[in-house]
């Protein structure tokens, strides 16, 4: 996060960037505490969202959907490798195994089915009623506006994926925060960004 903040806010002072990093770390910690769907290693310096005190690194718990994705991905890859190994067996060994267990096409179908289910799981939201990402988007927008003195615009970060500097600061910082929290960041962040800006505007009224 520190490098990302430096890339998108090169104009900001060291103090501004340091404050922004601390505020985003608090937001990410709060997000993880209320939304523990992925096991990720905490950064070296993190801060409790309530007390503001520094906490040590560790692991954040993994919940259902992340475990499902991981398990299906591992199963799919393991089955695919198994099929590949089987096809390279000597004919007599392969015949003996097929006589006992049936054609290897069955295993290939299992591999394909596991991969299909993994693809479906990737499209599922991390949480059935996911308001947490909107609040994280709000925090990112607030830090951009109030701490880094940047306008949180609605530009997509896709065109800046390979560029260390450039526009789409809101999208790039939000994606970085989601990934740092271990969340499933969608390719299109615009809907979440709109929610975050909406909260920012609502809380000003």
Token pair 């523990």: residue: 36
**pTM passes above 0.75:** no
Instruction: Tell me the backbone φ, ψ of residue 55, rounded to 5 degrees.
Output: -120, 155
Q: Note the pLDDT of residue 65.
A: 72
Size (the chain), residues = 205
Token pair 């591992």: residue: 74
pLDDT in tens, the chain (205 residues): 889 999 889 889 999 999 999 999 999 988 877 654 444 444 444 444 334 444 444 444 445 677 788 888 899 999 999 999 998 999 999 899 888 888 888 888 999 999 999 888 877 766 555 568 888 999 999 999 999 999 998 888 866 544 444 568 999 999 999 988 888 788 889 999 999 998 888 776 5
* Structure tokens, 153: 């615009």
Q: Which long-range contacts (CB under 8 A, 24 or more apart) does 68-72 make?
A: 68/121, 69/118, 69/121, 69/122, 69/184, 72/114, 72/115, 72/117, 72/118, 72/121
Cβ distance 16 to 9 under 8 Å? yes
Q: CA-to-CA distance for 33 and 51, rounded, in angstroms?
A: 14
Provide the residue ranges of all domains of the chain, joining segments of one domain with +. 2-25+127-202, 64-123
SS3 content of the chain, % helix, strand, coil (to 5): 60, 5, 35
* Per-residue pLDDT at 167: 67
């Amino acid at each position: 996060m520190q490098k990302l903040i430096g890339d998108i806010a090169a104009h900001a002072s060291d103090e501004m960037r340091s404050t922004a990093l601390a505020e985003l770390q608090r937001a990410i910690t709060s997000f993880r505490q209320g939304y523990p769907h992925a096991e990720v290693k905490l950064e070296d310096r993190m801060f409790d969202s309530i007390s503001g005190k520094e906490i040590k690194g560790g692991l954040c718990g993994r919940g259902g959907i992340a475990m499902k994705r991981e398990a299906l991905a591992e199963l799919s890859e393991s089955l695919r490798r198994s099929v590949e190994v089987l096809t390279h067996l000597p004919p007599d060994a392969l015949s003996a195994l097929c006589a006992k267990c049936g054609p290897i096409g069955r295993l290939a179908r299992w591999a394909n089915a596991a991969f299909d289910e993994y693809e479906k799981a990737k499209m599922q939201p991390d949480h059935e009623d996911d308001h947490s990402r909107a609040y994280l988007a709000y925090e990112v927008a607030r830090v951009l506006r109030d701490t880094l003195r940047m306008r949180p615009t609605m530009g997509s970060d896709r065109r800046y994926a390979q560029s260390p500097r450039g526009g789409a600061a809101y999208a790039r910082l939000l994606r970085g925060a989601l990934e740092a929290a271990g969340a499933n960041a969608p390719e299109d962040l615009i809907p979440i960004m709109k929610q975050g800006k909406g909260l920012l505007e609502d809380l000003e009224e």
